[in-house]
Amino acid sequence: MLIDWFTVGAQLLNFIVLVWLMKRFLYQPVLDAIAAREQKIAAQLADAAATKEKAHQQQDEFQTKNQAFDEQRAELLREARDAAKAERERLQREAREAADAASAQRAKALLTDAQHLHAEIARHTQQQVFDISRRVLGDLAGLSLEQRMCEVFIQRLQAVEGPALATLGAALQAVSEAEPALLRSAFELPAPQRAAIQAALDESFGQPIPLQFEATPELVSGIELSAPGQKLAWSISDYLGALSSGLEERLGVTEPA
Amino acid sequence: MRLTPDQWIFWQHGFFKLNATIVFTWALMAVLVLGATLITRRLATGHERSRWQNLLEIVVTAIMGQIEDVGLKEPRRYLGFLGTLFLFVAAAALATMVPGYEPPTASLSTTAALALCVLVAVPLFGISGQGLAAYLKSYVQPTPIMLPFNLISEVSRTLALAVRLFGNMMSGAMIIAILLSITPFLFPIVMTVLGLLTGMVQAYIFTILAAVYIAAATHSSKPKPSPTAAN
C-alpha cells in the first residue's frame, strides 16, 4: 500500500501549518512592502504632478510677467527714442540758430570791417589825391589847388546851359540877402576865389547873387552851390565815391538788405 | 529499493511514526519559513532593496499574476493557499540536488494530502465566493443528470492531481537512483537537471490546476474550463 494514512494526516496538518506560516512570514510582509512602495511611488507621482502643475503655473506667471516687461521696455524705449529725437531736434534747432546768429554776426563784423576799411581807404585816398594834386598843380603851373578848384567850378558854372541853367537861375532868383545861396567848400576860400566865384555867378545870371561862404570839411576838396531845390557842385568826393564803388565791387562787400 | 519515502521510517510507536516524508517536509517547511523570515525581517519600502527581497517580490507577484491570469479577480485571497502549494512542491523538487534527500512529493501520501487540501479548498472558496446554494447548484448544471458526472469529476480530478504529481516525482527519483547504480557521474547529473525541470513544471501544473478548479467553483455561471490533464 503506497498511501500511509497517518502520513496523509500529518502532511495535511503540515501543509495547513505551512500555509499559515507562509502567510504570516512571507506573503503578508512582502505584499505590505509592495503596497507601501506603491503608495510611496503614488505619493511621489502626485507630488511630482503637483510640482509640475505649480511649475506650469509659475511658467505661465513668468511668461505673463515677461510679456508685461517686454511691453514696458518697448514703451520705455519708444518714449526714450521720442525724447531723444525731440532733444536732437531741439539741439539742432539751437545749433542752427546759433550758427545763423554767428553767421549774421560775422557778416555784420565783416561789413563793419569793410566799412571801416572803406572809410580808411577813402580817407587815405583823399589824403593822397589831395597831396598829389596839390603837388602836381604846384609843380606844373604854380597854382594852388584851391585856386584851380575855383576855376574848375567856374568852368562848370559857365558850362551849364539850357533848362538846367534856367532851373538853377529860377532857384537863385528866390534867394535874398536874408537867405543867401550857400556856397560850401572843404576849406576856407581866399578872398580872390570868393570874388571870382561871385563875379562868375553874377555874370551868368545877370544879377548879383547873394552868397554865403561856408567851410565844410566833409566835401573833401570841392565846392558846392546850394539854392532852394537846386545844387551845383564839383568836389573830389564824387571821384572818391566812384573809387569807393569800384573797391566795394572788388571786395564783394555790400550793405546787408 | 523504496518506492516512497514513507517506507523510510525513523521512529514508530504504534500508529504514530516518523518517516522521511514527514521529516523532509518539516525540513522544507523550516527552510521556507526561516528563509522568508530572514528576508522579510528587513524589508525596504523604498526604491533601494536587497536582491533577496527582489527575488521574493518577483516570486510573489509572479504567482499573483498567474492566479489572476487564470481568472481569479482577487489573487491576494488565494495567494496563501495556491502560493504555498507552488512553493512547497517547487522547493521539494529543487531540494533533490541535495544528496540523501528524497522529495516528500514522491510520496503518494503527501500528494494525496495536497490533493485532499485542494478537494476541500475548492468548495470552501466556491461557497465563500458565490454562496452555498449557488455552489451546490453548480453540480446540477447544465442539467441534474450531470450531478453524478460532476461528483465523479471532483473525485477523479483530485485523484489525478495526487497521482500525477506522485508519479512524476517518484519516477524522477527512481530514474536517478537507477541510473546512479548503472552509469555514475555524468548521466545522473543530466537526469537531475531534467528532474528539476520536471519538478518545476509539476509545481506549476499542480498550482494552476488547483487555481482553475477554484476559479470554476467561484464562477459557476460561466462555462467551466476543462481541466487539461498534463502528462
Any domain includes B191: yes
More confident residue, A71 or A193: A71
**Band of pLDDT at residue A221, cut at 50, 70 and 90:** low
Mutation target vs A (from B17, B84, B85, B158; most A CBs, 10 A cutoff): B84
Q: Using a CB-CB distance cutoff of 8 angstroms, which residues of chain A are in contact with residue B60?
A: 26-27, 30-31, 34
Three-state DSSP state, B157: helix
CB–CB of B19 and A4 under 8 A? yes
pLDDT at A164: 81
Nearest-CA neighbor of B210 among B144, B125, B96?
B125
Q: Domain count for chain A, please give it.
A: 1
pLDDT at B185: 72
Rounded to whole angstroms, what are the CA distances from A256 to A100, A103, A116, A121, A240?
14, 12, 15, 21, 22
- Write out the residue range of the structural domain in which residue B98 sits: 5-218
Burial B181-215 (b: 16+ CB within 10 A, else e): eeeeeeebeebbeebbebbeebbebbbbbbbbbbb
Rounded Cα–Cα distance for residues A149 and A222 (Å): 7
Average the pLDDT over each of A4-8, A142-146, B92-96, B166-170 and give the range with the smallest value. A142-146
pLDDT at B216: 87
Q: Give the position of cell 527581497.
A: B53
Q: Using a CB-CB distance cutoff of 8 angstroms, which residues of chain B are in contact with residue A21?
A: 29, 32-33
Any domain includes A210: yes
Q: Domain count for chain B, please give it.
A: 1
- Write out the residue range of the structural domain in which residue A180 sits: 143-251
More confident residue, B57 or A134: B57
Any domain includes B226: no
Residues of chain A above pLDDT 70, percent: 86
Rounded Cα–Cα distance for residues B204 and B198 (Å): 10
CB–CB of A22 and B80 under 8 A? yes
* Cα angle value A136/A142/A147 (rounded, 5°): 90
Q: Using a CB-CB distance cutoff of 8 angstroms, which residues of chain A are in contact with residue B16?
A: 6
**Band of pLDDT at residue A141, cut at 50, 70 and 90:** low
Average the pLDDT over each of A163-172, B68-77, B116-125, B156-165 and give the range with the smallest value. A163-172
CB pairs under 8 A between A and B: 122
Any domain includes B228: no
Chain B, 10 to 69: residues with Cβ < 8 Å from chain A are 15-17, 19, 21-22, 25-26, 29, 32-33, 36-37, 40, 43-47, 53, 56-57, 60-61
**Nearest CB partner across the interface for B6, out of A4, A16, A26:** A4
pLDDT at A77: 94
- State the sign of the Cα–Cα–Cα–Cα dihedral B130, B134, B136, B139: negative
Any domain includes A137: no
Any domain includes A79: no
Residues of chain A above pLDDT 90, percent: 37
ipTM for this prediction = 0.88
Q: Which three cell numbers stand for residue B25?
A: 517536509
A21 near B CB under 8 A = yes
Any domain includes B157: yes
pLDDT at A246: 74
Rounded Cα–Cα distance for residues A209 and B23 (Å): 184
**Band of pLDDT at residue A201, cut at 50, 70 and 90:** confident
Any domain includes A216: yes
Please determine, for residue A224, whether its predicted confidence score (pLDDT) is greater than 90: no
More confident residue, A137 or B30: B30
Any domain includes A38: no
**Nearest CB partner across the interface for B117, out of A7, A10, A15:** A15
Any domain includes B61: yes
More confident residue, B226 or B188: B188
Mean pLDDT over B29-46 rounds to 88
A3 near B CB under 8 A = yes
Which DSSP letter does residue A210 get?
-
